[in-house]
Amino acid sequence: MQLTKTLLVRIAAGLGLATAATLFTSCAGSMSRKPAVEIFNDMRQQLKYDTQGESQFAGFTDGRADRRPVPGTIARGHLHPQDDPFYTGQVNGMYVGENPLKITPELMELGQQRFNTYCSPCHGRAGTGKGIVAARSSWIPSDLVDARVKGFSDGDFFDVITHGRRTMPSYRFQITEHDRWAIIAYVRALQRTTSGTVADVPSQLRGELR
């Protein structure tokens, strides 16, 4: 008899505790202007820095919570030979004259796709510098098919896409090295269209010219 009584008391106490716990924890989800009652640490309060926040740590002399990577840090998979023209567009500090990739129809198609995506908004699909951005602003993108830009070496072109030039921003984070070379091959074809003559048209197709 004594045993059952203790057991009952224990069950009642347990139920009481569970109800109290439910009541308290539900406070966190209810609407109130007061700070929620926090019985257990529900991770809202954390010893951490907010993005772009300030740091009180004396070792961070610039006071910033976000730290810059150690100078010279290279992300995994991005360690490239520094003397390979494929990655630099240069040999011995000079721009390479020619595209290091083999020019194939697939490469040209890729270059066209990438050019239309990344370059045409400013330079226009024909490369003449009359893209939609130029039409809507006073910003003047270069005419990529004029004689001056025709005279650029492929390596110089690579440098423009990689680092930007004057007011043109860099596209190295958007476009891989391989695709930059594909774009260059395609721009060469665009430039070629401005100096085409009837002699370039295969003889069996000349009849269709108007």
Candidate residues 99, 110, 111, 122; the one interacting with ligand HEC per rule CB under 6 A: 122
Contact status: 108 vs ligand HEC (CB under 6 A): no
Task: Report the residue number, 26 or 193, with the smaller CB distance to ligand HEC.
Answer: 193
- Distance (Å, rounded) from C-alpha 127 to C-alpha 55? 48
Task: Report the residue number, 65 or 133, with the smaller CB distance to ligand HEC.
Answer: 133
Candidate residues 85, 90, 111, 144; the one interacting with ligand HEC per rule CB under 6 A: 144
User: Which residues, 6+ apart, have CB-to-CB distance to 172 below 8 Å?
Assistant: 161, 162, 163, 180
Contact status: 107 vs ligand HEC (CB under 6 A): no
Amino acid identity at 208: E
Contact status: 138 vs ligand HEC (CB under 6 A): no
Contact status: 123 vs ligand HEC (CB under 6 A): yes
Handedness of CA 205, 144, 90, 159 (dihedral sign): negative
Candidate residues 118, 150, 153, 191; the one interacting with ligand HEC per rule CB under 6 A: 118
Shortest CA distance to 121 belongs to which of 171, 172, 87, 71?
171
Where does this chain touch ligand HEC (CB under 6 A) — which range of 16-24, 39-47, 67-75, 160-168?
Answer: 160-168
- Distance (Å, rounded) from C-alpha 51 to C-alpha 65? 7
Using CB under 6 A, count the residues that bind ligand HEC: 22
Where does this chain touch ligand HEC (CB under 6 A) — which range of 13-21, 28-36, 39-47, 119-127?
Answer: 119-127
Contact status: 110 vs ligand HEC (CB under 6 A): no
Contact status: 183 vs ligand HEC (CB under 6 A): yes
Contact by Cβ (8 Å): 132, 121: yes
- Distance (Å, rounded) from C-alpha 6 to C-alpha 14? 12
Closest CB 130 distance from ligand HEC, rounded Å: 12
- Distance (Å, rounded) from C-alpha 115 to C-alpha 84? 24
Amino acid identity at 137: S
Contact status: 171 vs ligand HEC (CB under 6 A): yes
Shortest CA distance to 122 belongs to which of 149, 142, 108?
142
Interface residue list for ligand HEC (CB under 6 A): 118-119, 121-123, 133, 139, 141-142, 144, 149, 157, 160-161, 165-168, 171, 175, 183, 187
